[in-house]
Amino acid sequence: MTAAEQVRNPQAIFISGNEAVAMAARDADCRVAAAYPGTPSTEILEYLSAYPTVYSEWSINEKVSLEVAIGASLAGSRALCAMKHVGLNVASDALMTQTLIGAVGGLVIAVADDVGLSSSQNEQDSRYWGRFAHIPVLEPCDAQEAYSMTRFAFSLSEQFSVPVLLRLTTRICHVKGLVRTDASEKTVARFFNKDSSRYVMVPGNARNRIPLMMQRDKELAQFSESCELNRFEPGQDRRIGFVTSGAAYCHVRETFPEAPVLKLGLSHPAPIETIRAFAQEVDQLIVAEEVEPLLETELKAAGIQLSGKDILPRIGELTPSVLRPALAQLTGDTCTTAPATQNDLFPRPPTLCVACPHMGIYYCLAHVKNTIISGDIGCYTLGAGQPWNALDTCISMGASLSVAQGIDKGRSEADQNKNVIAVIGDSTFLHMGMQGLLDITYNRGNVTILLLDNRAVGMTGGQNAPSSGLDLHGEETIQVDFRKLCEALGVKPARIHEVNPYELPVLFKALREEVKQTGPSVIITNQPCVLTERYRQQPVLAVDADRCTGCSNCLDVGCPAILVERRETVIKPNGREKQLAFVKIDSAACTGCNLCINTCGPDAIIPLSRDSRINAVEVSA
């Protein structure tokens, strides 16, 4: 924020959309908030955890987080749960029943869609859940609206006794803007009102709630026609007019400042008659919506003439560089801006952090032949990339074990001699993986499981989980004993091993031995995520240039701190060419984990300070 802006907006604060949602929940007297970390929604709960008036927790998964919020709502308190888009798939079982029960205290579900797939396994449009679950959808376009609409969502939820979906996208969650806040409110204290006909969804009760839900749909549709969140912005150039929402609105406004726009804040139920009237005022109506042609389909079904995904792309954000050339034919304008492509960017593939304990595991997996490796969601997904190429599948959260079981049971004769391995992290195992392990033991699967326990939800920034022994607030709580848990799920004690992933020979030996065993085995690694306070840095390493032979074995570890200084091509005695790569270590990035030392035959990697070599270890309590 510049000094001039501060002067003009002395009471405004410069915050992200996620922080605005958290602040709004606090100001709306939200009493309970729950979430499972997931980019781009993670920071909502992290900000909320700083407010003592709100009970906040990292839940074990998104379904549990929604159920915690539902319970608080039924007890009369305002409640919020937050998740990324794929999390709502997990939570949908609870959602689809709660839509019949409805809310008591305001119930807000903040869902962040990763439009453009910056860090997700798919691109998904959460607005569909509004139609599917018969609940209203609010779509803020910036941090100010994220604040205002979160406040509005609580009151809307209580007005219509319905959960409200607050649909965010990465651009809303992470981009900062000036936000003016309103006075905090104090809600009337309620209590849990026993009503089994409403709260106990046996078939007879649920059947009676469906007509009420349909009536609520009608009332919400009527409300949408006059809702102040759906606003008309006139424009001088009526060749095209836009119906849009969320971040797409900002892109439309920037690209076509003279075009009339109907901006939808309450995008479901859509104000059909308002849009029909707007269509009569412009030559061509365009529906600019990111990802799916959801509103477009509804409006066409209502008989409104328009264009949408026949002109605009169905993948990624509708930025000005996308909108301008796409609509050039309609406007008659000359497009001077070429669409941005991936080729415009310097190639920088995602990789693991320097000293990540997962690197040693993928180094070993890359050297174990004759395997089929089933991966999972999290940092360990990166094992599919260079230099490891050590994952063969990655489907969804917790699916590695179940998919491995399916591969084991469904393999053909040609794959009978291959080893089936599943790789999963600690928080993912607790989120959805435990059931897969129970299925393997119960149905006598032959799978080797690598449980990478780094005591954190690493991919989203090292948040605490039941594996860390700390809660959202950093306070001590129970810590899961994975050895005992795996044993309880049916794995024989002799087939459960705990190893230090920085000790490559030990890890490699355990892996080679266990893949030969019949029945399920679990290898638990026990070193912390380098992003957490548990990780302790060791003496930084360096390369002795006089000893380095250019063999490049250390590059197979995949550590970003190891850099190629020069390359050479030599002719071997047999006449074949060999590429040599002479390396150095970035001392500013190295943490002295010693993984590379294990791969260096000529002992060219040495401590920079000549201190003793010590493996990175967890800080003792």
Three-state secondary structure of 336-400 = CCCCCCHHHCCCCCCCCCCCCCHHHHHHHHHHCCCEEEEECCCHHHHHHCCCCCCCCEECCCCHH
pLDDT confidence band for 78 (50 / 70 / 90): very high
Q: Which amino acid is at 345?
A: L
- Tell me the C-alpha to C-alpha distance, in Å, between residue 336 and each of 324, 326, 333, 339, 344: 9, 12, 9, 10, 16
| CB count in 10 Å sphere of residue 219 | 13
Please tell me the predicted confidence (pLDDT) of residue 621.
35
Of 187, 512, 559, 248, nearest to 365 by C-alpha is 512
170 pLDDT higher than 80? yes
Please tell me the predicted confidence (pLDDT) of residue 334.
72
264 pLDDT higher than 90? yes
Would you say 86 and 122 are in contact if contact means Cβ atoms under 8 Å apart?
Answer: yes
Looking at residues 125-141, what average pLDDT do you find? 97
Looking at residues 363-369, what average pLDDT do you find? 91
Which letter does DSSP use for residue 517 in this model? S
Of 66, 125, 72, nearest to 97 by C-alpha is 66
pLDDT tens figures, 441-498 = 999 999 999 999 999 999 898 999 999 999 999 999 999 999 999 999 999 999 999 9
Please tell me the predicted confidence (pLDDT) of residue 468.
94
Please tell me the predicted confidence (pLDDT) of residue 8.
59
- Tell me the C-alpha to C-alpha distance, in Å, between residue 379 and each of 350, 372, 385, 460, 519: 10, 19, 11, 9, 27
488 HSE (CA, 13 A, CB side) = 8
616 pLDDT higher than 90? no
HEC string for 422-445: EEEEHHHHHHHHHHHHHHHHHCCC
Instruction: Using CB atoms within 10 Å of the CB of residue 199, give its burial: 0 to 12 exposed, 13 to 18 middle, 19+ buried.
Output: middle
Would you say 238 and 203 are in contact if contact means Cβ atoms under 8 Å apart?
Answer: no
Would you say 501 and 425 are in contact if contact means Cβ atoms under 8 Å apart?
Answer: no
For residue 83, what are the β-bridge partners?
A: 111
Of 458, 424, 506, nearest to 355 by C-alpha is 458
Q: Which amino acid is at 614?
A: I
Question: Percentages helix, strand, coil for the chain, rounded to the nearest 5?
Answer: 35, 20, 45
Report the C-alpha gap between 182 and 185 in whole angstroms.
9
Please tell me the predicted confidence (pLDDT) of residue 24.
98
* The Cα angle at residue 220 between residues 164 and 273, in degrees rounded to 5: 125
| CB count in 10 Å sphere of residue 501 | 29
597 pLDDT higher than 80? yes
The conformational region for residue 9 under phi > 0 = left, psi -120 to 50 = alpha, else beta, is beta
The conformational region for residue 250 under phi > 0 = left, psi -120 to 50 = alpha, else beta, is alpha
Please tell me the predicted confidence (pLDDT) of residue 116.
86
- This prediction has a pTM of 0.89
**Using CA atoms in the order 553, 594, 447, 439, what is the torsion angle rounded to 10 degrees?**
-140
Report the C-alpha gap between 253 and 250 in whole angstroms.
5
Instruction: Using CB atoms within 10 Å of the CB of residue 285, give its burial: 0 to 12 exposed, 13 to 18 middle, 19+ buried.
Output: buried
pLDDT confidence band for 619 (50 / 70 / 90): very low
The pair of three-digit structure tokens given for residue 25, joined into one six-digit string: 């929940």
Look-up: residue for tokens 């070193």?
A: 527
Please tell me the predicted confidence (pLDDT) of residue 331.
77
Would you say 407 and 372 are in contact if contact means Cβ atoms under 8 Å apart?
Answer: yes
The pair of three-digit structure tokens given for residue 42, joined into one six-digit string: 């993670």
* The Cα angle at residue 354 between residues 348 and 360, in degrees rounded to 5: 105
* The Cα angle at residue 198 between residues 193 and 199, in degrees rounded to 5: 70
Please tell me the predicted confidence (pLDDT) of residue 339.
53
pLDDT confidence band for 344 (50 / 70 / 90): low
Would you say 568 and 550 are in contact if contact means Cβ atoms under 8 Å apart?
Answer: yes
Alpha carbon 388 to its chain's center = 23
Looking at residues 142-162, what average pLDDT do you find? 98
Please tell me the predicted confidence (pLDDT) of residue 350.
82
Report the C-alpha gap between 200 and 202 in whole angstroms.
6
In the predicted model, what is the mean pLDDT of the chain? Answer: 92
Report the C-alpha gap between 61 and 427 in whole angstroms.
9
Report the C-alpha gap between 46 and 48 in whole angstroms.
5
